[in-house]
Amino acid sequence: MNKVWVKDNNELSDFEKLKLVNDGLDMVEKLPKYQESGFDSIDLKERNLLKWAGVNIQKPRNAGYFLMRVKIPSGVMNSDQARVLATIAKDFGRGILDLTTRQAIQFHWLTIETIPVVMNILNEVQLKTIGSEGDCPRTIIGNPLAGIDPNETIDTRELVQEVSEYFQGNREFSNLPRKFKISISTNVYNVGHAEINDLAFTPAVKNDGKNDCNGFHVYVGGGLSAQPHLAQKLNLFVHPHEVLKVSIAVATLYRDYGYRKNRRHARLKFLLADWGKAKFETELLKLTGPLETTGIDLTRGWNAGYFYGVHPQKQSGLHYVGLSVPLGRLSVEDLLEIAECADKYGDGSIRTCLSKNLLLANIPTQNIAALLAEKIIRRFTPYPKPFVGYTVSCTGNEFCNLALVETKEFAIKLAQTLDKKITLDTPLRIHVNGCPNSCGHLQIADIGLRGTLEKLNGRTVEKFELLIGGSLGISNGFATMLQGAVSSDIVHQVLEDFINFYKTQRRFQESFHEFVSRFGTEAFQELLNPYIESLSELACF
C-alpha cells in the first residue's frame, strides 16, 4: 500500500510514527509470543496497538487485565454463540458481560495469557474481535430486526456481512487516522443512529422510470466525543450492490487525506468540515464512478434503539420480544437462561440493540405467553419502568482508565429513585458518562450527565455536569450543556425538578426534546442554579 499521507514525518503524531513501522494487525500475530512471555514483556509503546486485536487495557493500567469487545454485526447472533460468550465470561471474565452502544459484547478481566485462547474459542462460532478497537473500521452497526422487520425496506443482513468481511483484518484499511464507524439500516425509524457515524446508509427509494427501486441515502462525517458533529447527507442514491463500493471509497478518502498530526483532530468529521460536502462528494465519485443523485428519503423518525414489548414480525405468526437489560450488564446465568428461552420458544435468534438491550426473534404466537412467564423474562421485562428502562451509562471508572467517576451503580440507583418518585407516561432517556468523551452517548440524550471531579473543603467530590434536549431523527440536535455541576448525591433532586417541570408544562405528546426547544435552556438553568449556589455556599465553610 502506498501510504500517500506520509510526506513529512514531522507532520505525524508520535502514535502515527509508531503505526508506520508497526501495523496494529502485527500485534495480533505477536499474541502467542506475549502469551508465553507475559504482560510485562509487552513494550510500553506497543500496548495501545493491542486494540487492533479487540482488547484494551483495563483499569488499573499496569495490573495486566484487559477488556475485550466481540463484534456482533447489526446485532444478529444465535443461542449457540450466546452460550459460548457466557462460557468465556465464566471461565475467563469473572462471570460478567456488558452490552455496548455499538451492539457488541464486552468481556472484562482477561489476561494476555487468556486472550489468544478466547479468540480461538470465538472463531469456532464465527465471532470476531479483530477490528472492534483500533484505528480501523469498527463493528458495523445496523438494524437488530434485519430480516424480520415490518418497518424495513431491504433486509440488510447480507450487506452488513459483506462489508464486515471485506474490512475484517484488511491491511489496506488497518491504518486509518482514527476509528471509522459504519451504520447500515433500512428501518424507517433510524435505528442505526445514522447522524453520529462516520458513514451511514439510510433507507431511500427512487423511480427508474418504470419501477420504484429501494436503496440508500449516504451520510458522512458524524461523531460525538468532545467535539460532536452531525453527519451530513450527500447528494447520492446508492443501490444495494453499490454499498460496499461506496464504503471502500469513503474509507479510502479518510485513510489518504484524514488528519494524522493531532489525534483529537483526526476523525473523518474534521476532514469533511474543512473540505465541505461538495468537494468530498467530488472526490468520492472519482473513486466510485458515477452514482445516482438522491431519491426520496424514507426515514420517518427515531426510536433511539428501543424495541420493548411484543411485536409482530413481517413473517406471519411470528413475533419479536424486546427485553430491558438495565445498563447492559449481564451475568453468565442471565445469558444462558436467555439462550435457553431463545431455543425453547423460538429458533435461537437473539439480537443486541444500540440501547444496550436484547431482543428475542421468531417466537410463534402460541409461545408468547409461556415465554413471558419465564423468570428471566420477568426480570428483564419487555415492559420496564420509564427510567430504569431508558437509562444508559458508559463503563465508568470501574474498568475504564479515562473515566473520572463511577457510572453504572450511580446510574441504576438514579433510575430506580426516579421510578419511585415520579410517574411518567412517556420515555425520558438519561445517559451517564464518566469523562469528557462520549461512550455513553450523552449528547443525544434527553438528559445527559457528564462526570467530573472537584475539590470541596479539601476532599475530592464526584460531580456531574448536565446537558439537555438531545435527539436524532428528523428534528435532530445535540443536547445543550448547562452551566455548573452538582454533587452526585443530589443529581436526583435536580432531575426531579427538571422532569416535573416537563411533566406539568408539556403539550399533548410533546417530547422532551421538543419541550426544551420550545422553552429554551434558560428555564432549566434557573431550576439548576439554586443547587449550584447551595454548593458554593457549602464550599465557603
Q: Tell me how far apart the alpha carbons of residues 349 and 399 are, in angstroms, rounded to a whole number.
A: 30
Q: Is 69 a catalytic residue?
A: yes
C-alpha dihedral, 366 to 377 to 357 to 301, nearest 10°: 50
Q: Which one of the listed residues 47, 69, 181, 255 is annotated catalytic?
A: 69
Q: Which one of the listed residues 396, 439, 448, 451 is annotated catalytic?
A: 439
DSSP 332: H
CA distances from 244 to 247, 428, 487 (A): 5, 36, 48
The three-state secondary structure class of 200 is: strand
CA distances from 291 to 213, 248, 284, 294 (A): 14, 14, 10, 9
Q: Is 434 a catalytic residue?
A: yes
Q: Is 45 a catalytic residue?
A: no
- Let me know: does 485 contact 464? Beta carbons within 8 Å: yes
Q: Is 178 a catalytic residue?
A: yes
Please name the residues in contact with 258: beta carbons below 8 A apart, sequence gap of 6 or more. Answer: 5, 176, 177, 178, 266, 267, 268, 270, 271
Provide long-range contacts, Cβ within 8 A and 24+ apart, for 530-536. 531/484, 531/486, 531/490, 531/493, 531/494, 532/483, 532/484, 532/485, 532/486, 535/456, 535/486, 535/487
Q: Which one of the listed residues 179, 269, 408, 450 is annotated catalytic?
A: 179
Q: Tell me how far apart the alpha carbons of residues 228 and 223 are, in angstroms, rounded to a whole number.
A: 6
Q: Tell me how far apart the alpha carbons of residues 518 and 512 are, in angstroms, rounded to a whole number.
A: 10
Reported as half-sphere exposure (CB side, CA atoms, 13 A), residue 255 has a value of 21
Q: Which one of the listed residues 328, 434, 451, 473 is annotated catalytic?
A: 434
Q: Which one of the listed residues 142, 215, 440, 473 is annotated catalytic?
A: 440
Locus of grid cell 486494540: 51
Q: Which one of the listed residues 178, 233, 429, 450 is annotated catalytic?
A: 178
Q: Tell me how far apart the alpha carbons of residues 144 and 305 are, in angstroms, rounded to a whole number.
A: 9
Q: Which residues are catalytic?
A: 69, 178-179, 434, 439-440
